[in-house]
Amino acid sequence: MRRYKNLLFLAGSICMQLCNLLHAQTNSGALIAGDFADPSIIKAKDAYYATGTSSEWAPHFPIYTSKDLQNWKLTGYVFDKAPEWTTGSFWAPEYYFYNNTYYVYYTARRKSDRVSCIGVATSQYPDKGFKDHGVIVSYGKEAIDGFVYNDSGQLYMTFKAYGLDDRPIEILGCRLSADGLTTGGEVFSLLKDNNRMGMEGQSILKKDGYYYLFYSAGSCCGNGCSYNVRVARSKHFKGPYEDYSRNPILQTNEVWKCPGHGTFVEQQDGKQVYIHHAYNKESNVFTGREGMLAELVWSCDNGWPSLVSRQNRHSSGSNMQTSFTEKKIAGHWQWDFRHATPVISQENGRLSLSGTIKEGNSAGIALTVRPVSRLFEIITTVENRNAALKGLVFYGDANAAIGIGTVNDNIEYWMVRDNKRTVLATQKISGSGTVQLKLAIKPGPACEVFYKYKGTAWQQIAPEIKPGIGFLPQWDRSPRPGLHFKGSPNEQAVFSGFELINR
């Protein structure tokens, strides 16, 4: 009997050591590189689809697809135009499939009072054709991070509440109608943040008679983030839930920091994986919260789960070269819809950019792409001359941007910081013809700008001026490089080509 007990003790010890190893494993590559926070994933037929937070960028909620969970391609957006009831803060979209219909439950601020609510849109397809049905959850000062769970045929909506109140945050739940479009019944509490550490981004699975509630704790965003993933379980969907004694089950490691906010999907081999986000420690807020993948492992400690980070390739993080030969605008372009209404067209290798700039916007219109490296160069050729500013930009917000462009017969190196615009340097354009511009982000990080004419070498403008750009990242999103226009609506910028080179 003693020998038997010793064997059991040894087996338990080995199991716990394996658990520790699983908790310690790391990865070195993002699943979907660049700013792709709060991701949700779904499997449809023979492909996977993932959507994530777009925050203040339009179009809203990018959708990526993959056949193998490794190589991902941007295929579209949930909304090409913001739903009428919204004003911004497009966060935490959540996929769900039910009754042969694809649902996306999402968070946005309501235009009438700027309170964050949960809306819902539906489509017959996972990556196009979504119709908005408006607000489905409005609760106090804030209702965010919607997640749907089907408990033996009864649908429930779960969400985070009280994040803006002087009381503990809670994960709440309520009944959801059979068509998935309305909520009803009494709102109940699944889990309360009694330790005041933060709680959101929940996802629920059931196994062996237990409901497992995975959630993110800590501060989600920015240099001071503290995000991690935790789990609690209960024999009943409505609780009470018991927190795992070995939480967190996914946390900062030597390469990635502040992982969290994800959902699960089943692979072809039956294994479940968790798509979530994290900051790369090297590039940090300059590439934002990137899409990551972890494998779910069970029976590590009395049936409790563990999340094992996967080694992923930068399949969506390559260099970019756009030639503007098609009439259709490439899907990777996004813009800050709150501060400008861009007008974009392209054909015969030229892209024209103009539009209406709203009052208080000191930066102008930025047509941007998601950065996947903290160090890069962007290059374009300006084809026309007029009084508008036309060129390249690294854009954080309407009050935080830096760029280089042409104005009449001059090249202008400019910066907007704290909504104050400053011309850093100017250079006279020699002769006629096109001007090629380059904006480079170098270690520091700092910005350098260059120009050249056809057949000449690059010339740096004001090499002694190397402004720091730490003011560009916003709390919930990374800054983005791209093309730029600042002028009257009857003017335009004409570009031939755009290239992004990661360093």
Active site residues: 38, 200
Residue 176: helix, strand or coil by DSSP?
strand
CA 293 to chain CA mean position, Å: 14
Three-state SS sequence of 118-175: EEEEEECCCCCCCEEEEEEECCCCEEEEEEEEEECCEEEEEEEECCCCCCCCEEEEEE
CA angle 259, 263, 267 (to 5 degrees): 110
Cβ atoms of 92 and 144 closer than 8 Å = yes
Q: Rounded to whole angstroms, what are the CA distances from 381 to 279, 378, 484? A: 33, 11, 12
Cβ atoms of 129 and 45 closer than 8 Å = no
* Cα–Cα distance measured from residue 383 to residue 369, given in angstroms and rounded to the nearest whole number: 21
Q: CA neighbours within 13 Å on the CB side: how many for 336?
A: 30
* Cα–Cα distance measured from residue 207 to residue 201, given in angstroms and rounded to the nearest whole number: 20
Which stretches within 1-108 are classed as H helix? 2-24
Beta strands in 349-503 (DSSP E): 350-357, 365-368, 376-382, 389-397, 400-407, 410-417, 420-428, 435-442, 446-452, 459-461, 480-486, 493-502
* Cα–Cα distance measured from residue 442 to residue 444, given in angstroms and rounded to the nearest whole number: 6
Cβ atoms of 227 and 201 closer than 8 Å = no
DSSP 488: -
CA 497 to chain CA mean position, Å: 26
Q: Rounded to whole angstroms, what are the CA distances from 328 to 73, 345, 349, 366, 402? A: 17, 8, 12, 18, 28
* Cα–Cα distance measured from residue 274 to residue 478, given in angstroms and rounded to the nearest whole number: 23
Among residues 487, 276, 259, 489, which one has the least CA distance to residue 389? 487
Q: What are the φ/ψ torsions at residue 16 (nearest 5 degrees)? A: -65, -35
Residue 220: helix, strand or coil by DSSP?
coil
Among residues 416, 248, 263, which one has the least CA distance to residue 339? 416
Tokens of 257: 């920091």
Q: What are the φ/ψ torsions at residue 336 (nearest 5 degrees)? A: -80, 100
